[in-house]
Amino acid sequence: MIIIIFNALSSFSQEVLFPDDFTNKEIKNLNQLNLSFKNYSFDDLNFNKDLKDLAFFNAKRKQNKVWAYVFSTAGTMLLASGLAIDSDKDLHGFKALMYISSAAYYGISIPFFVGNIKNKKQMKKKLIFVEDKLNTLK
């Protein structure tokens, strides 16, 4: 009797079972995009590759965004500390070091912001294709 109940619960479950070639990170990134996989059986290898690409672009976009904000925050903190140094004392070299370091951190953050934008555009293109394919399966 218990086995029948568990089988019934699993058959009415809303969770989609991904194939074994999808990693947990890929599944997590795909689930964050709120795609409906209820009617998709994961038989199409080309579409599975598109799903993996979509998960990659989403993960890379998030990673670039985090690093961009980390480096720009560090640059802002260095700039603020450089401005806060009292220039009446003999700390001009230290103040210049703060400004140069701040500029370097801002410069380092630029490629991460660009990478975030690039991956976001690629993800949107792929997402449109994937949503269309999933909508035709409904």
Could you give the CA distance from residue 65 to residue 72 in angstroms, rounded to a whole number?
Answer: 11
pLDDT of residue 121: 94
Q: What CA dihedral angle connects 62, 64, 66 and 70, to 10 degrees?
A: 180
For residue 69, what are the contacts with CB-CB under 8 A and spacing of at least 6?
109
Q: What pTM did the predictor assign?
A: 0.74
Check residue 4 and give its pLDDT.
66
Per-residue pLDDT tens listing for the chain (138 residues): 677 665 554 444 445 677 778 888 988 888 888 888 777 788 888 888 999 999 999 999 999 999 999 999 999 999 998 888 876 676 678 888 899 999 999 999 999 999 999 999 999 999 998 888 888 876
- Residue 94: what pLDDT? 84
What is the per-residue pLDDT for 1? Answer: 63
Locate all alpha helices (DSSP H) within the chain, ordered by sequence. Answer: 2-11, 24-31, 45-84, 92-137
How high is the pLDDT of residue 99?
92
Kindly give the interhelix angle for 24-31 and 45-84, rounded to the nearest 10 degrees.
Answer: 80
Dihedral angle of Cα 120, 123, 128, 131, to the nearest 10 degrees: -130
